[in-house]
Chain A
Amino acid sequence: MSWWPFGRKKEEQPPWLNAYLKEARKSIPGIRKIQQLSFVVLDTEATGFDPKKDELLSCGIIGIEEEKIKISSSKEWQFASEKSPGKSATIHGLIHPKNPIELKTFCQELLGNLRGSIIVGHHIGFDLDLLCKTFQPFGFNQFPNPKIDTMNLAVRLDFGPQVDWNRVRKEDYSLDALCEKFNIPKEDRHTAGGDAFLTAQLLLKLLKQAEKKGILTYQELFR
């Protein structure tokens, strides 16, 4: 237990983390059709909106394979937070976790589910920053998987890839607004699982739009 942080990072990583990193770093061939891509839609709820300060309360994921939402792949984890729930808790209505689990188990399970999939989420950056921070004790610092932010995807489909962000009204691209636009009933909103499910339905609909615009492959999707 030295305070000296350099020189022995890699060796400290447990094998399950290595297995994940190896798979997540694999590159996906650019010509792969969207239908063949596997996605994992992820959402977290936290004690607040600052990934540096706030803590993870719950996390939900659901997988999409061959453009089908697989309910069997849906998972939800709840945590006991030491920090008293702040501002965000009033939105999520989460105070007492139902079924708290150990952090390590969670990390192993989550990464086992992510593997080589594309990670999808609405404002996914926030969720991943929060998870990275949470997983720091295991020497984890980044998700190498390709990522899609459904908000960016929706904006891109409306404005094209060279979007001038000043012209975009952000509130039109909130999860709520998009659910309304795409006629997705906002059920179980502000639960990690519920939001992940909504985002998954949103992704299906966005991908259909994308296909209509000639975005058919992995490289076109990520251009």
Chain B
Amino acid sequence: MANVIVNRVQEFLKKHPPFSFLNQDDLASVASQIEIQYHEKGEILFEKGDAPEAHFFILKEGQIELKDGEETKDFCDEGDVFGVLALLGKRPYILTAAVLENSLVYCIPVNAFEEILQRNSKVALFFAAGFASGQVVIRQDLSAGQKARGIFKKDNNDHSLLIFSDQSEIRFSENVVCIAAESSIQQAAEKMAEKEVSSVVIINSEKYPVGIITDKDLRTKVVAKAISLDLPVKQIMSSPVVTKKRDSSFSDLYLSMIKNRLHHLILTEDGSAESPVCGILSDHDVLLSMGNSPAVLINALLNTTDLTEMRAIRDRAETMLRYYLENEVSMDFVASVMTEINDVIIQQATKIARSKLAPEFPEMQGIKFAFISLGSEGREEQLLRTDQDNALIYEDLPASVQVKAANYFHLMGSEIVEVLLACGFASCPGEIMASNPKWVQPLSKWKEYFSEWILSPTQESLMQASIFFDFRKITGSSSLTDELSAHIYEEIQSKKAFLSFMAQNALKNPPPLGFFKDFMVEKSGEHRDQFDIKARAMMPLADLARLLVLSHGITGINNTFKRFEKLGQLEPNYESLFNQAGKAYEILMRMRALEGLQNDNSGRFISPEHMGKLQRQLLKNTFSPLAELQDIMEVRFQLAYFRK
């Protein structure tokens, strides 16, 4: 009987995997069987080698240390599930659970769960994934977390598995290549060659599927065994076949392919094998339905100057992005692809602007210029179409043409910005765009800007520095940007104190976690109770990476995680920390992008309340390299003096 108490327990459970995968009835049944224990600091919940209890645990409050002898293996915080060996193997505990802080522990009876485990494949997968299986989850190792994330879908409301993310559009061949069961192997092979397919379905007189032959069958069962090609196909076909209804959902289809290790899934009218064949789905089709290839998109972009079309292509790129993110494609690759696409759009935009202005300004065509991206696009990290930050540099000109040039390049910059807006890139609230005359300047003026920021760092200039120092040439003449880079690094070498100011600024970012290890959320305003992942987690890392590469005098590496990678090579004693920081940044980028795709916004603000347990832990893990790096910076740039 559900009552207030059971409901309360249920509310807690459903926020945490694997309970989050349970349906309402199962959840209520589990909740009503729970027992609650309270343990004070210093108590031992179970010892290594103890026979397993008839329940496993989820921590309601407090902290528990899992250890092997004196060696700490893991810490459990609120929502962590532990001691599940009892559930899986009925083996003695492999670790000792010691209570670090007074803890309220919910005990979930194993028999309440065993039956669910049989029925619910998501729950089974959760445990199979080794998570919380009493196995060690070493928090520091972010790569483990990254893998784990692949199993769980991003969607906060629906904790179903990632691979089940539904793709509404799925293309499969409706013209199935079929052959009668009496045909010879030779005929089957000929038909496959003729139709250029990798499989052929064997049907009976009623068009019901009775078997299937694939390329692989021809290799392994025919060629390798040297059997006669005149034998009937029946002899080598795989039979019976797994069939599905043609209008099944994608996840259903995909899942049965995975479960049955199929490369081809036959679709029939009613889903059974006693019904005519009407389609076939290959794993190649699955791949194609999941996204568009970057090469196709880039090619399409290069061949159009039509704004609507450009926008549509960028939208498609986002679908591809989502697929990549959800499928754990490496961030390096994802970021490169998206940057390439964004760059091509900017290059096309420049082309559009120039051809539009050419008739009016014929004399301006030979003047060297460079369109630069700043901020995240400059760092090659812009996955979503968040604010555009860009500027324009042109060569120094005699005073006579200067005025006209200023006008021309301002018009050109504005035109480019307009095209980007039309393609869905948001405009910069700080007006740091090539449509702002302040940021469309000749090279000498740009050198002045940078010198001023470096020589007299004010609060405002430091803020701007963080955006401008990540500039990257997108289109135009490299000689201008190269010269500017050289100038900047010279200036910095002559005024090292600037780095300390930058460091001070980099450490000013608001902290991600509060005193009680909870997320620091916005106190008021539109994003109240949301976590600012950009300002509190990503910017600090990006700022530190920039500062450190500048202090090493490195140019040409803009990407934050690549910067950390480089720093790891330069300072081998901190290599693992830098690698961690780089990984953390990748995770944050991924989280933010997924959040943004989910909610169709910049993904900057995340509600910790709505996050699953795993995601929250993953996010928290990303903060640990940050705190360590900040401590090192404090010493390295002698910031203690600065504050005074």
A residues at B contact (CB < 8 Å) = 60, 62, 67-72, 74-76, 183, 187-188, 191-194, 196-197, 200-201, 204-205, 208, 212
Please determine whether A71 and B31 come into contact, CB atoms closer than 8 angstroms: yes
Q: Could you tell me the distance in whole angstroms from the C-beta of A66 to the nearest C-beta in chain B?
A: 9
C-beta contact mask, B203-225 vs A, less than 8 Å → 1, else 0? 00000000000000000000000
Please determine whether A60 and B35 come into contact, CB atoms closer than 8 angstroms: no
Q: Please tell me if B61 contacts chain A, counting CB pairs below 8 Å.
A: yes
- Once A71-B31, A201-B104 are accepted as A-B contacts, the answer to whether A76 and B38 lie under 8 Å apart by CB is no
Q: Please tell me if B125 contacts chain A, counting CB pairs below 8 Å.
A: no
**Which residues of B, 1-17, contact A by the 8 Å Cβ criterion?**
1, 3-6, 8-9
Number of B residues whose C-beta is below 8 Å from A? 20
Complex-state Cα separation, A72 to B102, whole angstroms: 24
* A193 contacts across to B, CB distance below 8 A: 3-5
Please determine whether A67 and B37 come into contact, CB atoms closer than 8 angstroms: yes
* B111 contacts across to A, CB distance below 8 A: none
Chain A residue nearest to B33 in the complex (CB): A72
B residues at A contact (CB < 8 Å) = 1, 3-6, 8-9, 31-38, 40, 61, 102, 104, 107
Complex-state Cα separation, A191 to B4, whole angstroms: 8
Chain B residue nearest to A67 in the complex (CB): B37
Please determine whether A68 and B107 come into contact, CB atoms closer than 8 angstroms: yes
Please determine whether B33 and A71 come into contact, CB atoms closer than 8 angstroms: yes
Please determine whether B8 and A197 come into contact, CB atoms closer than 8 angstroms: yes
* A196 contacts across to B, CB distance below 8 A: 5
Of the candidates B3, B9, B35, B104, the one whose C-beta lies within 8 Å of that of A75 is: B3
- Once A71-B34, A72-B32 are accepted as A-B contacts, the answer to whether A62 and B5 lie under 8 Å apart by CB is yes
Complex-state Cα separation, A106 to B122, whole angstroms: 41
* A71 contacts across to B, CB distance below 8 A: 5-6, 9, 31-36
* B3 contacts across to A, CB distance below 8 A: 60, 74-76, 193
Complex-state Cα separation, A188 to B6, whole angstroms: 11
Could you pull out 22 A-B pairs where Cβ atoms are within 8 angstroms? A60-B5, A68-B36, A69-B37, A71-B5, A71-B6, A71-B31, A72-B33, A72-B34, A183-B61, A188-B4, A188-B5, A188-B8, A193-B4, A194-B4, A194-B5, A196-B5, A197-B4, A201-B36, A201-B38, A205-B102, A208-B40, A212-B40
Known: A60-B3, A204-B36, A204-B104. 15 other contacts (CB 8 A): A67-B37, A67-B38, A68-B36, A69-B35, A71-B5, A71-B31, A71-B36, A72-B32, A76-B5, A191-B4, A193-B3, A196-B5, A197-B5, A204-B38, A208-B38
Chain B residue nearest to A68 in the complex (CB): B35
Q: Could you tell me the distance in whole angstroms from the C-beta of A99 to the nearest C-beta in chain B?
A: 10
Q: Could you tell me the distance in whole angstroms from the C-beta of B37 to the nearest C-beta in chain A?
A: 5
Complex-state Cα separation, A75 to B2, whole angstroms: 8
Chain B residue nearest to A65 in the complex (CB): B35
Complex-state Cα separation, A201 to B33, whole angstroms: 17
A-B pairs, 4 with minimum CB distance: A193-B4, A69-B36, A76-B3, A204-B38
* B5 contacts across to A, CB distance below 8 A: 60, 62, 71, 74, 76, 188, 193-194, 196-197
